[in-house]
Amino acid sequence: MTQAVDSSSSFFGRRFGRWLDRRIPPSPEISLSQRNVFIFPTRTGFVFGGLLLLLVLAAINYQASLVYGVAFLLGSVFLVTILYTFRNLSGLRLEFAGTRPGFVGEDIEFSIRVVRPQDGGRGRRGREGIQIGFPDGIVQWVDLHHQEADLVRLYVQGSRRGYLHPGRLLVETYYPLGLLRAWTWVDLDARALVYPRPLFSELPELMAGRRDEGQLIDPQGSEDFTDIKAYQPGDPVKHIIWRSYARGDELMVKRYASFMEPRLWLDLDDVGGGLEERLSRLTGMALQAARLGREFGLRLGKVEVKPAVGEAHLERVLRELALYGS
């Protein structure tokens, strides 16, 4: 999996990407060391170098030993900072710790665990000012002072349905002086599922599947109140009789005739528009059906998900919708 780093379109960008893939191969877990951490002065670092040059010039022209002294002290600080900056990343372990799927247009969450190497549990040797982020996402700061590990949540906007590969993860630090940048591009082999952007339209009773399966019941039927029963987990929240609960009684729910409704089929062939639009509509319907607690199934050409209810079912349906055609 070659991920674009910076500019995949340019020749050098692609060469760099291939070189990176060899140098830092994709792996869900990676430890940072001198093999995969780069270090270079920042622009501020170069300005700092200019300042040092100016000081040395002043020292030469004024023959002032202590101006030399200041220049040498600052130069030495710069060199020592190389070690500090590198050490701030060195030994860190990064682990891909899961994602949370989302819809197109949403920010998709990736969790990364950052683990500090064991160094005798000395809190003073914490790591700080570590910034991690995906090329297209926001950047998070990580400080590891007293804890050994931290879970960082990063967000990348899902622009297309299917698997989202956020690309290589940029881990960088400017600590302690901002004169140097130590960084690495690691590929944690992370991917997240992006569901189609839901489009909501009329409720699916009009196209509630084939006539031969179940009976079409009056849509108003869902409003037909039948009786009252005690609340059980899983009952639709909107059916709870809050007024009676406020009186101090138990949670009661109203039962409606719609409980008896037949299974609903969401079929790609039953909606209009382009492929993506149809998938979006089906997604919207699936979500609405799930919210209403209706039993529904999915048909995408040859792919079929048997009607069911519940969280896991919805997830499965959405996954099929996201991955359709890929």
Q: Under rule CB under 8 A, which residues in 97-126 are in contact with another protein?
A: 97, 100-103, 106-107, 109, 113, 117-122
Binding-site size for another protein (CB under 8 A) equals 74
Select from 10-18, 84-92, 202-210, 219-227 the region that touches another protein (CB under 8 A). Answer: 84-92
Instruction: Tell me the angle at which helices 311-323 and 275-292 cross, rounded to the nearest 10 degrees.
Output: 180
Which of 3, 36, 81, 184 is the binder for another protein (CB under 8 A)? Answer: 81
Other residues' Cβ atoms within 10 Å of the Cβ of residue 181: 19
Which positions from 8 through 47 interact with another protein, judged by CB under 8 A?
28-29, 44, 47
Minimal distance, residue 186 CB to another protein, in Å: 14
Give me the 163-192 binding string for another protein, x by CB under 8 A, dash otherwise: -----------xxxxx--------------
* Nearer to another protein among residue 4 and residue 287 (C-beta): 287
Select from 52-60, 212-220, 245-253, 269-277 the region that touches another protein (CB under 8 A). Answer: 52-60
275 HSE (CA, 13 A, CB side): 9
Other residues' Cβ atoms within 10 Å of the Cβ of residue 116: 19
Q: Is 277 in the site for another protein (CB under 8 A)?
A: no
Q: Is 196 in the site for another protein (CB under 8 A)?
A: no
* Nearer to another protein among residue 103 and residue 324 (C-beta): 103
* Rounded CA separation 102/114 (Å): 23
Beta-strand (E) ranges in the chain?
A: 29-31, 38-41, 93-100, 102-103, 107-115, 127-133, 139-144, 149-157, 162-164, 169-173, 180-186, 192-195, 225-230, 252-256, 264-267, 296-300, 303-308
Q: Is 314 in the site for another protein (CB under 8 A)?
A: yes
